[in-house]
Amino acid sequence: MPYLADPDLTEAELVWIDGEIKAGRFASRTDAILRLLGRGLESDPMIASYINDPKHWQDRAAEMRARAAGISSDEDGATMLRLAKDYDKLAMRAAKRAGGTTP
């Protein structure tokens, strides 16, 4: 299955994500990708700016729902809908952080 959440991942990053998921360290690819993206956030304010932007995550959720609608495989569509729900949760957390509260 292709990685839809971030198409710019390197082969090494994809291998790491697969290993983390197989080892049961993450419930979803979204969790693994966010962990990977979280490395070095302190030194990259550009990444931190979208991590805390609710609209970014809402847009990602909408993208996953649109892709799920075009998928004929029930399993793949369900995976994309789960990703959309994860993005919705991230949007809510980002909104809380923007309002000065933590999730």
User: Token pair for residue 43?
Assistant: 């030194």
**pLDDT at position 73, please?**
84
Give tens-digit pLDDT for 52-77. 889 989 999 999 999 889 888 888 88
Give tens-digit pLDDT for 82-95. 999 999 999 998 88
Question: Across 7-11, 31-35, 48-52, 87-91, which has the greatest mean pLDDT?
Answer: 87-91
What is the domain partition of the chain in residue ranges?
A: 9-39, 41-103
Question: Across 11-15, 34-38, 81-85, which has the greatest mean pLDDT?
Answer: 81-85
* C-alpha to C-alpha distance for 95 and 4, rounded to whole angstroms: 23
Give this prediction's pTM. 0.53
Nearest to 5 by CA among 37, 36, 29: 29
The mean pLDDT of the chain is 76
* C-alpha to C-alpha distance for 98 and 17, rounded to whole angstroms: 29
* C-alpha to C-alpha distance for 66 and 10, rounded to whole angstroms: 25
User: Token pair for residue 73?
Assistant: 């495989």
